Each structure stands twice: as structure tokens, then as C-alpha cells.
């Protein structure tokens, strides 16, 4: 095991941008959520990543808080009916979840790489 220092913030920022946590150039994903076997730029293997249910958990956690605040503000400050309120919140939660999920997965893989978790 080498002793070179891995910075957590840049690695997580690169993951957030769907880039290799090590070099920041190669793509992290081959499709929406499928992690590439290795970085195309520096060769860093991503086989050790184990994001598992973490990205889904954090996405649900964030989106449920947003939905809860939206529900409160829409009931208190708008005159929308229940169906319009539910539809509005559902659209925001659906789009937000689809946008957040791969970003949170990349962020978690960057964190795992920086902290040498799971054999990185
Ligand atoms: Zn790389």
C-alpha cells in the first residue's frame, strides 16, 4: 500500500462531475449508473467501488426533505388543490431524483477512492 495522500474534496468533486476521482479526466460511468471498469485516461480500476444502496438512500433522504418543505409551503402559500399540489411535488421529486442519483453515486465513489475503502 502506497502512502501518497489522496485529497477527499477534489476526488468527491470529480465524482460529482462523473469524472475519475484520481485524474478528473476519464469518465466514471459508461451509462446512466453503470460504472466503467477503469478510467480511460489514467487506468485507475473502479472494480473496488461499492456504492451499493448509498446513493439511493441519500437521494431519497434529500428528495423527501425537499418534498416535505414543498408540501408545507404549497399548502400555506398557494391556493392549489390537492391534485395540483401532489402532481407538482411528484414532478420535482422525480426529476430531482433522476438528476441527483448519478451525481451522488459519483460523489460516493470519489469518497471511497480518496479514503481507500474497499480495496481502492
Ligand atoms: Zn483517471
Residue 1 has pLDDT above 60, yes or no: no
Question: In this predicted structure, what is the pLDDT of residue 20?
Answer: 97
Q: How far, in Å, is the centroid of ligand 1 from the Cα of 97?
A: 27
Q: How far, in Å, is the centroid of ligand 1 from the Cα of 94?
A: 31
Residue 4 has pLDDT above 90, yes or no: no
Q: How far, in Å, is the centroid of ligand 1 from the Cα of 46?
A: 10
Is 41 within 8 Å of 57 (Cβ atoms)? Answer: no
Give the Cα separation of 95 and 105 in Å (integer).
Answer: 16
Rounded to two decimals, the pTM is: 0.88
Which residue is it, cell 411535488? 89
> How confident is the model over 63-110, as pLDDT tens digits?
999 999 999 999 999 999 999 999 999 999 999 999 999 999 999 999
Q: How far, in Å, is the centroid of ligand 1 from the Cα of 7?
A: 14
Q: How far, in Å, is the centroid of ligand 1 from the Cα of 16?
A: 14
Q: How far, in Å, is the centroid of ligand 1 from the Cα of 39?
A: 5
Q: How many CA atoms does the CB half-sphere of 70 hold within 13 Å?
A: 19
> How confident is the model over 46-69, as pLDDT tens digits?
999 999 999 999 999 999 999 999
Q: How far, in Å, is the centroid of ligand 1 from the Cα of 104?
A: 18
SS3 19: strand
Give the Cα separation of 50 and 54 in Å (integer).
Answer: 9
Q: How far, in Å, is the centroid of ligand 1 from the Cα of 71?
A: 42
Amino acid at each position: 500500500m502506497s502512502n501518497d495522500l489522496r485529497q477527499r474534496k477534489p476526488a468527491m468533486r470529480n465524482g460529482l462531475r462523473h469524472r475519475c476521482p484520481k485524474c478528473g479526466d476519464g469518465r466514471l460511468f459508461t451509462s446512466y449508473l453503470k460504472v466503467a471498469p477503469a478510467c480511460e485516461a489514467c487506468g485507475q480500476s473502479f472494480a473496488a467501488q461499492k456504492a451499493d444502496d448509498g446513493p439511493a438512500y441519500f437521494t431519497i433522504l434529500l428528495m423527501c426533505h425537499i418534498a416535505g418543505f414543498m408540501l408545507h409551503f404549497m399548502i400555506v402559500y398557494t391556493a392549489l388543490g390537492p391534485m395540483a399540489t401532489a402532481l407538482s411535488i411528484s414532478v420535482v421529486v422525480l426529476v430531482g431524483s433522476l438528476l441527483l442519483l448519478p451525481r451522488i453515486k459519483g460523489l460516493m465513489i470519489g469518497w471511497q477512492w480518496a479514503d481507500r475503502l474497499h480495496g481502492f
